[in-house]
Amino acid sequence: MRRRIVDAAADLFAEHGYGGTKLAMVAERAGVSPRTVHRLTGGRDQLFALVIATKLTSEAADRVASAAADPEATPPLAVLIDAAAQIFAAPEFGWSVLELEALTRAHRDDGVRALVSDRLDKRRANMRAVVGQARRAGGLDLDVDDDALVHLALALSVGLAVVDPVASRPSSANWNALMARIGASVAPSELLLANEYVARKPWRLRIDVPDRPGGLARLVRALSTLHAYVVGTSVLATGDGIRTIDLAVTVPEKISAQTLLAAAMAAGSNGHVTEGSLDDDLDLPTRVLDGATELVTNPGSAPLAAAALVEADRFEVTDATEGEDDAAGVLRLQWTPDRHVVLHRDWAPFARAEQTRASALLRLAAAIAGSEGDVRALGWVEPVQGDGTVWIRLGRPEDADAVAAMHERCSEQTLYRRYLTGVAEWRDLSLRRLTGGHRGATLVVMSEDGSIIGLGNVFPDEPGDDHAAELAVIIEDDYQGRGIGTRLLRHMLELAQRLGIQLVVATLLAENAEMLSVLEATGLVWTRELENSVLTMRAPLPVVVSGSLTPGHPRVRRS
């Protein structure tokens, strides 16, 4: 019966507070008389003290206590980050409404103050044990006072519980990163932790760090506070003041992905974490060479090798007119003119370096197949008017910068004729799409000095329609009028036939006499539709019976 009374009182104190709870309410909730309540538990003050002494627990405090009792299980910073994350997500786990009520009552009730002080002493002892553990491991600066750090932790947890009902919150990711940064800030300036934890669980971490001296060092330092070992690192992208870093790390077994990400986000942004493998410490050149060795004997394994190289979750080989275009978690690569490899990854977006690596591996496979007489490895050396030659080949992901540079060299008129929109609007189109990350095919034209001076795209009209495709061509101003567009378009039509395209569409300004002449020179039968000075031309393609093409010009291979 006494337990039933205490349970009822705990619920009522939580619902109505100390001032709003009467003994008669407790009696009614417990199903006994007020006299019985008073006889078994005393007055309201004594009942409240009994509830505080017997009913209050804190999951966060229990977590800290468990870590303090088992100092070799989890690094101290991980304990603090996890506890802070738990309290932030549900502040009542740290300090319940009853406990906050007790803190308020402690200011004017000596009995309650004694109970609260005893509970605080236990929490303080647990936290001090964790802080002492960090101190012994070398994770605290000599100038940081242990008691001050413990007091800050207690005050922070109480404050969260008090303001939670009335204050808006930051995101949990930002909160966790702040807690990790505070933890890292109290570490010694020269961090060299004692080897108390066996780092044996592999993780992969991808994150942006400032592109400044010390940016990567700050990240490694933040991870070191979790006793993490960095077993492999590479730079995947650089730009806009940041570097995208890929890290293979091992950490103590009990550190969660959330805690690892919080520590990393204390030194960077846009972080992603996934489980790693025991092979992550194998350096990238070795992985590439292993994949290349397999390709020599089995070029058909290229899609699997490309997926393994960039750690895609899955891949598919599709016809050039089918499947998804490039997206954050989708990497589309041209393998042969009529077959594409589409890689998918859920845990982190693909970076530019991964695009170029996977593309290079597929080109290697195509080159190996080409050396054995496979006609799919296409490329043409073409003579141009006024002497000289150009090289026309399949587009690659790494062509993006060169394609952008070509656009910068083009006049406003050339850009407008290609995109039928404002001069700056071409930038809104994905360069990866322009250089091959789409259904269909992309050809680039290279000058003798290696610059890209032309671009041709064969874009299937609709995702479900593999019978019609849009043709789009742009040639740099200085190379116009030399027959390059005509030769480029011929190879684009050959590729369109290989892809099974039955109808090609070209959209151009009616005043663009040069492009109109190039289209008419193909010998196709064009229909025309004019609207608002924009001419839409359509022509059926002859069906390729043999299933292969003879380009009519020498094929070249370049490393």
Q: What proportions of the chain, in percent to the nearest 5, are helix, strand and coil?
A: 45, 20, 35
User: pLDDT per residue over 209-233, tens digit each?
Assistant: 999 988 898 898 888 888 888 888 8
Most confident of 108-112, 267-271, 307-311: 267-271
State mean pLDDT over 306-315.
Answer: 87
User: pLDDT per residue over 506-520, tens digit each?
Assistant: 999 999 999 999 999
Q: How far apart are CA 236 and CA 207, in angstroms?
A: 10
Residue 257 DSSP symbol: H
3-state secondary structure of 406: helix
| Contact yes or no for 105/112 (Cβ under 8 A) | yes
80 closest CA partner among 93, 94, 64, 91: 64
Q: How far apart are CA 84 and CA 89, in angstroms?
A: 9
Q: What is the pLDDT of residue 546?
A: 38
The encoded tokens of residue 270 equal 């846009």
Q: How far apart are CA 414 and CA 423, in angstroms?
A: 9
Angle at 523 between CA 518 and CA 527, to 5 degrees: 85
User: pLDDT per residue over 167-213, tens digit each?
Assistant: 888 888 888 888 888 877 787 777 766 666 677 889 999 999 999 98
Q: How far apart are CA 378 and CA 179, in angstroms?
A: 55
| Cβ atoms < 10 Å from Cβ of 246 | 23
| Contact yes or no for 98/84 (Cβ under 8 A) | no
Categorize the per-residue pLDDT at 163 as very low, low, confident or very high, splitting at 50, 70 and 90.
confident
Residue with tokens 């299980």: 73
| Cβ atoms < 10 Å from Cβ of 110 | 7
What CATH number does the domain located at 379-540 have?
A: 3.40.630.30
Categorize the per-residue pLDDT at 463 as very low, low, confident or very high, splitting at 50, 70 and 90.
low
> Under 8 Å CB-to-CB from 297, ≥6 apart: which residues?
none
Q: How far apart are CA 394 and CA 437, in angstroms?
A: 12
Q: Find the range with the poorest average confidence among 18-22, 74-78, 463-467, 470-474.
A: 463-467
Q: What is the pLDDT of residue 362?
A: 87
Q: Assign domain 2-173 to its CATH architecture.
A: Orthogonal Bundle (1.10)
Q: pTM score, two decimals? A: 0.61
Strands (E), 109-150: none
What CATH number does the domain located at 197-275 have?
A: 3.30.70.260
Categorize the per-residue pLDDT at 445 as very low, low, confident or very high, splitting at 50, 70 and 90.
very high
Comparison of pLDDT for 284 and 335, the residue scoring more:
335
| Contact yes or no for 482/385 (Cβ under 8 A) | yes
Categorize the per-residue pLDDT at 377 as very low, low, confident or very high, splitting at 50, 70 and 90.
very low
51 closest CA partner among 93, 103, 14, 95: 14
Listed by start position, the domains of the chain span: 2-173, 197-275, 284-371, 379-540
The answer to whether 2-173 and 197-275 have equal CATH topology is no
Categorize the per-residue pLDDT at 489 as very low, low, confident or very high, splitting at 50, 70 and 90.
very high
State mean pLDDT over 396-411.
Answer: 88
For 528, counting Cβ atoms within 10 Å of its Cβ (0-12 exposed, 13-18 middle, 19+ buried), the class is exposed
CA atoms within 13 A on the CB side of 45: 8
Q: What is the pLDDT of residue 206?
A: 94
Q: How far apart are CA 459 and CA 505, in angstroms?
A: 10
- Mean pLDDT of the chain, nearest integer: 80
Taking the CA atoms of 420, 424, 428 and 434 in sequence, report the sign of the dihedral they define.
Answer: positive
The encoded tokens of residue 377 equal 């490895």
The residues that bridge with 519 in the sheet, in sequence order, are none
Q: What is the maximal distance between C-alpha atoms in the chain?
A: 112
> Under 8 Å CB-to-CB from 81, ≥6 apart: which residues?
176, 179, 180, 183, 259, 262, 263
Crossing angle, helix 76-89 and helix 110-136, to 10 degrees? 140
3-state secondary structure of 171: coil
| Contact yes or no for 197/160 (Cβ under 8 A) | no
The residues that bridge with 474 in the sheet, in sequence order, are 455
Q: What is the pLDDT of residue 88?
A: 79
505 closest CA partner among 456, 540, 464: 540
State mean pLDDT over 473-481.
Answer: 94
User: pLDDT per residue over 77-94, tens digit each?
Assistant: 777 777 777 777 777 666
